[in-house]
């Protein structure tokens, strides 16, 4: 089964994935950068009005240098907070929700800045006090005008394909063409059969059948899919997306008008978006940057501790200090995952004998590839395993790019067949030193549950998800949950 992971197929998939990554990233930049310029222009405009108003009434002395520093601070705070709250998402959110997010960002930023300057008796607190009410009105108005003007250009927006199972596909498709301000630019619709009543004009936008979605996406450089729920049962929607749209970076579902979700959604019609963030170069770069930063810090500050563990192991059980076990990493490649050696040197012989003499142990091994009472493990090894410290040498695997700090559980070749259903998803990322499985019961869970957790992590990855798992890891290690 392991030989079925063909290098040629993997390399071909990686090349196409990189093409999708950069094409989609370029569309995002073309869509988001003008919004950043609009927000910056609003900030400078409001700042200038507030500055000259204060100068006119002689509220403070005009110190240009300090005011420029204040402007830079406000710009950095606005841009970073807007980014965190997804106000620079290429697909426009509901106008009311967007207004709320902008008001929260600006309100917190300017109230904190005004209070800090007022507390330190800086007369320039008047600038921020005057700016906030102006920005509260000007920013959403300028954004709305900007989106309307940008929608008239051919280069602005993220290219998408419309998937419909409804006979009113002409009405639905033209509805999207008339709402380009959201940032979604339809290039055509995909449907197995075009209804008889459709006009010749709408038929020109028909690009093919659903089974050809991947090829149509690549040919039209459209890596976002817009799926209409109308005509599909709720339990069929998830199956449809997993089966036909897994090659798309982002999937936006559009519900029936009579079944709108909460207002925290996309566009005025309440669409819901699902994004495959791991296909974006920026996400990969961020994840790698976090890996290097944390692993280097752990290695630097934990070196004395690592040395103490090594000396202890050498005294207790002379022999090789480290143990490298072959595992599978990104794109199906093999690598050695390093650990402190916690087993006897002749561990394979001990295991074979133990499994032959204990049917219950063999059944446990066949089900989980682990033994709760493993005769191969030494006394220091048991302590290291209980505290998960035996895996610390995998910091080296992270530094050289074979593993990630957070990711799916590293698997051996013999486990590949258990991941067959999600293998293509699994090998898209590096395995992790910690992961969702490690903080969700670990060895106390079933193997099927492990596979489900690994699949869930890959499909729902985000930087914040990684930080959440890292935080949960400390609790899991301290309480020794599921470790043996």
Strands 184-190 and 224-228, bridge-based pairing: unpaired
User: For residue 7, what pLDDT band results from cuts at 50, 70 and 90?
Assistant: very low
**Whether 241 contacts 201, CB under 8 Å:** no
Q: Which of 100, 101, 75 is nearest to 88 (CA)?
A: 101
CB-neighbour burial class of residue 37 (10 A; exposed 0-12, middle 13-18, buried 19+): exposed
- The predicted-structure confidence for 262-283, as pLDDT tens digits, reads as follows 333 454 444 556 666 666 777 7
Half-sphere exposure in the Cβ direction for 162 (13 Å, CA): 26
The residue whose two tokens read 């196409």 is: 16
Kindly state the tokens that stand for 464.
């914040």
* CATH 3.40.50.720 domain residues, the chain: 158-275
Q: Which of 32, 30, 34, 116 is nearest to 74 (CA)?
A: 116
Task: Report the alpha-carbon distance of residue 255 to residue 326 in Å, rounded.
Answer: 47
**What secondary structure letter does DSSP report for 249?**
S
In this prediction, residue 71 carries a pLDDT of 80
Half-sphere exposure in the Cβ direction for 400 (13 Å, CA): 10
Dihedral over Cα of 191, 196, 202, 204: its sign: positive
Quick check: 17 pLDDT over 60? no
- The predicted-structure confidence for 183-225, as pLDDT tens digits, reads as follows 888 888 888 877 776 777 777 888 888 888 888 888 888 888 8
* β-strand partners of 266: 93, 271
Q: What percent of the chain has pLDDT over 90?
A: 5
Residues whose CB falls within 8 Å of the CB of residue 155, separated by 6 or more in sequence, listed in order: 30
Q: For residue 66, what is the enclosing H or E element?
A: helix 64-84
* β-strand partners of 208: 190
In this prediction, residue 379 carries a pLDDT of 77
| Mean pLDDT of all residues in 229-249 | 72
**Whether 425 contacts 459, CB under 8 Å:** yes
Task: Report the alpha-carbon distance of residue 232 to residue 398 in Å, rounded.
Answer: 44
* β-strand partners of 159: 185
CB-neighbour burial class of residue 265 (10 A; exposed 0-12, middle 13-18, buried 19+): buried
158-275 is a CATH 3.50.50.60 domain:
no
Task: Report the alpha-carbon distance of residue 293 to residue 273 in Å, rounded.
Answer: 31
Higher pLDDT, 291 or 25: 291
Task: Report the alpha-carbon distance of residue 449 to residue 363 in Å, rounded.
Answer: 18
Distance from the Cα of residue 467 to its chain's centroid? 12
| Mean pLDDT of all residues in 411-427 | 79
- The predicted-structure confidence for 101-131, as pLDDT tens digits, reads as follows 888 887 888 777 777 766 666 666 777 777 7
In this prediction, residue 449 carries a pLDDT of 83
In this prediction, residue 261 carries a pLDDT of 39
Residues whose CB falls within 8 Å of the CB of residue 117, separated by 6 or more in sequence, listed in order: 124, 125, 128
Helices (H), 317-376: 347-357, 359-368
| Mean pLDDT of all residues in 131-143 | 86
Distance from the Cα of residue 62 to its chain's centroid? 46
**Whether 211 contacts 178, CB under 8 Å:** no
Angle, CA of 33, 38 and 43, to the nearest 5°? 125
End-to-end, the C-alpha distance of the chain in Å comes to 29
**Whether 471 contacts 443, CB under 8 Å:** no
Quick check: 395 pLDDT over 60? yes
Task: Report the alpha-carbon distance of residue 216 to residue 220 in Å, rounded.
Answer: 6
Question: Lowest-pLDDT range, 34-48, 259-273, 391-405?
Answer: 259-273
Helices (H), 120-260: 125-150, 169-177, 200-203, 213-220, 234-244
Task: Report the alpha-carbon distance of residue 206 to residue 190 in Å, rounded.
Answer: 6
Residues whose CB falls within 8 Å of the CB of residue 343, separated by 6 or more in sequence, listed in order: 323, 374, 376, 377, 378, 381
- pTM comes to 0.60
Quick check: 70 pLDDT over 50? yes
Q: What percent of the chain has pLDDT over 70?
A: 81
């Amino acid at each position: 089964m392991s030989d079925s992971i063909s290098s040629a197929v993997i390399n071909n998939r990686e090349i196409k994935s990189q093409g999708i990554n950069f094409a989609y990233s370029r569309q995002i930049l073309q869509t988001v950068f003008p919004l950043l310029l609009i927000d910056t222009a609003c900030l400078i405009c409001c700042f200038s009005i507030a500055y000259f108003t204060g100068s006119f009434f002689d509220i403070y002395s005009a110190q240009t240098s300090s005011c420029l520093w204040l402007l830079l601070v406000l710009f950095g705070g606005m841009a970073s907070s807007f980014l965190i709250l997804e106000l620079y998402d290429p697909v426009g959110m509901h106008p009311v929700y967007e207004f709320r997010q902008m008001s929260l960002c600006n309100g917190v930023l300017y109230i904190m800045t005004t209070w800090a300057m007022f507390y330190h008796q800086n007369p320039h607190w008047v600038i921020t006090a005057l700016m906030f009410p102006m920005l509260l009105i000007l920013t959403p108005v300028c954004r709305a005008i900007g989106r309307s003007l940008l929608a008239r250009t051919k280069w602005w927006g993220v290219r998408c394909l419309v998937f419909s199972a409804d006979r009113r596909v002409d009405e639905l498709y033209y509805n999207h063409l008339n709402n380009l301000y959201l940032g979604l630019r339809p290039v055509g619709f995909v449907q197995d059969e075009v209804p008889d009543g459709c006009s010749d004009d709408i038929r020109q936008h028909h690009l093919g059948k659903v089974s050809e979605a991947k090829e149509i996406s690549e040919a039209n450089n459209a890596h976002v899919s817009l799926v209409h729920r109308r005509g599909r049962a709720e339990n069929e929607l998830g199956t449809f997306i997993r089966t036909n749209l897994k090659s798309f970076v982002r999937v936006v579902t559009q519900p029936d008008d009579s079944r709108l979700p909460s207002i925290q959604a996309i566009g005025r019609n309440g669409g819901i978006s699902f994004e495959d963030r791991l296909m974006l170069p920026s996400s990969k770069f961020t994840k790698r940057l976090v890996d290097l930063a944390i692993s280097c810090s752990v290695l630097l500050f934990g070196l004395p501790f690592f040395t103490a563990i090594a000396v202890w192991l050498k005294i207790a059980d002379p022999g090789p200090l480290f143990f490298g076990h072959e595992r599978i990493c990104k794109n199906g490649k093999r690598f050695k995952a390093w650990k402190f050696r916690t087993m006897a040197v002749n561990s394979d012989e001990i295991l074979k004998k133990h499994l032959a003499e204990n049917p219950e142990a063999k059944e446990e091994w066949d089900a989980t590839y682990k033994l709760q009472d493993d005769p191969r493990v030494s006394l220091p090894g048991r302590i290291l395993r209980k505290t998960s410290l035996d895996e610390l040498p995998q910091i080296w695997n992270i530094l050289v790019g074979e593993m990630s700090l957070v990711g799916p559980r590293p698997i051996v070749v013999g486990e590949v067949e258990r991941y067959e259903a999600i293998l293509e998803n699994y090998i898209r990322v590096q395995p992790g030193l910690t992961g969702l499985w490690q903080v969700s019961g670990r060895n106390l869970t079933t193997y099927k549950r492990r596979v489900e957790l690994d699949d869930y992590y890959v499909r729902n990855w985000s930087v914040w998800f990684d930080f959440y798992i890292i935080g949960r890891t400390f609790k899991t290690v301290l309480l020794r949950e599921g470790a043996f």
